[in-house]
Homo-oligomer: A and B are copies of this chain.
């Protein structure tokens, strides 16, 4: 989908500060001071901030924040691409609300659409011919647009929205925060026994990496496929998917989360038009600067495979697949040695993109603890300066947490070191 990482940003802000201060109490006092300083018009200097992340650097005293899937793993790759991925926008460019009045969606930059279609053809993870294309402010916004488009406008009862547990923690809050009479979160799809619903199918699944198909068998059921992680660095590509609504995001494909840009491939014209209507009312379209930048980024990815020498410096998915595989290998070894933790089983399959059998490297570790007497794993890890997201937020128990595998090497290695020390 969709709301990749909402919900816990306040916690992250807090964690960032804890990381700097190494003490919650001191931190709260300084937090108050920070707020006062901002309130009266600034004061902090930009040099306190790592330019591309806005976060303080990780140190051996830091709290390691792996609550969000902040994809800073990818920075290393983009430091190596030079001008090929640099966007230049003169002051006069794309000033209008309109990107393409002759196109299906007036706010889509044609260059962005072109590179996305090219990318899917390169990777083979989704069918693009016969699909309408929409842009969104991250796939979060497109998720809401899809709910709006799929919910009957005027029948009085909100449409049920479900997903099998463990489900992405933002689905309930994003569905319900405006208390819309059009739709309402209705929990675990496996427990649903109503007549009709919208099922969210996230595959590979956030949080546990599982490969998912829709579980609701009703003919009147509708699905939204959240394919944020359906890329070869995370999962073997086994087919070009062709579902009714498929959502993607640059955040987890190339690592550009700050660009806040997603896209939808939509089979039905009326559904696509209603989604466009949502985008008009919610934000009058989508940042053209983000679209121009993403077009350049995705062009660099495609060119890297189609026009450049076959080196990892040119090949994003190969770079990221290697990084993810190295991290999973370290994590599995550490977990095996720990005696108290476990992870979902490793799975592998033939990947039509890599043209070989490859092992899945999910974007999150779904880490379970078997230590006697330990009930709340999120709290236990927090006490050990590791911020994760606990099972209850995903509709399951407290002995499991989600851990981002996409952060910087420094943060990941600090995490490995710390869990290795837990007995």
Binding site for B on A (CB under 8 A): 3-7, 9-10, 12-13, 16-17, 20, 34-35, 38-42, 44, 46, 48-49, 51-56, 68, 70-72, 74-75, 78-79, 81-82, 84-104, 106-107, 110-111, 113-114, 117, 128-133, 137-138, 140-141, 144, 148, 170, 173-174, 177-182, 251, 255-261, 269, 276-278, 280-290, 292-293, 296-297, 300
| CB nearest neighbor in B for A407 | B96
Identical copies in the complex = 2
From B82, B101, B138, A16 is in contact (CB under 8 Å) with B101
- Are B288 and A140 closer than 8 Å at their CB atoms? no
- Are A93 and B51 closer than 8 Å at their CB atoms? yes
| CB nearest neighbor in B for A272 | B39
From B98, B111, B141, B281, A3 is in contact (CB under 8 Å) with B281
- Are A38 and B70 closer than 8 Å at their CB atoms? no
- Are B54 and A101 closer than 8 Å at their CB atoms? yes
Of the A-B pairs whose beta carbons lie under 8 Å apart in the complex, a sample of 20, sorted by A's number, is A3-B281, A9-B284, A38-B103, A40-B129, A46-B111, A49-B100, A49-B102, A52-B93, A53-B95, A54-B98, A72-B96, A79-B91, A87-B88, A87-B89, A89-B293, A141-B282, A180-B181, A259-B287, A259-B288, A287-B287
User: Given A9-B106, A179-B180: A283 and B260 within 8 A (CB)?
Assistant: yes
CB distance from A234 to the nearest CB of B (A): 17
With a 10 A CB-CB cut-off, give which of A75, A180, A260 has the most chain B CB atoms: A260
Task: Identify 15 new A-B residue pairs, CB closer than 8 A, beyond the known A9-B97, A178-B178.
Answer: A3-B281, A12-B101, A13-B106, A34-B104, A41-B117, A52-B94, A53-B96, A86-B89, A94-B258, A96-B257, A98-B258, A137-B287, A138-B284, A258-B287, A287-B289
CB distance from A258 to the nearest CB of B (A): 4
Q: How far is the CA of A181 from the CA of B55 in the complex (A)?
A: 37
CB distance from A232 to the nearest CB of B (A): 20
- Are A5 and B97 closer than 8 Å at their CB atoms? yes
Q: How far is the CA of A415 from the CA of B67 in the complex (A)?
A: 56
Q: How far is the CA of A125 from the CA of B1 in the complex (A)?
A: 40
**Which B residues touch A91, using CB under 8 A?**
78-79, 81-82, 84-86, 296-297, 300
From B16, B132, B281, B289, A173 is in contact (CB under 8 Å) with B281
- Are B53 and A98 closer than 8 Å at their CB atoms? yes
With a 10 A CB-CB cut-off, give which of A17, A79, A86, A287 has the most chain B CB atoms: A287
From B34, B97, B128, B181, A179 is in contact (CB under 8 Å) with B181
CB distance from A25 to the nearest CB of B (A): 18
Q: How far is the CA of A4 from the CA of B280 in the complex (A)?
A: 10
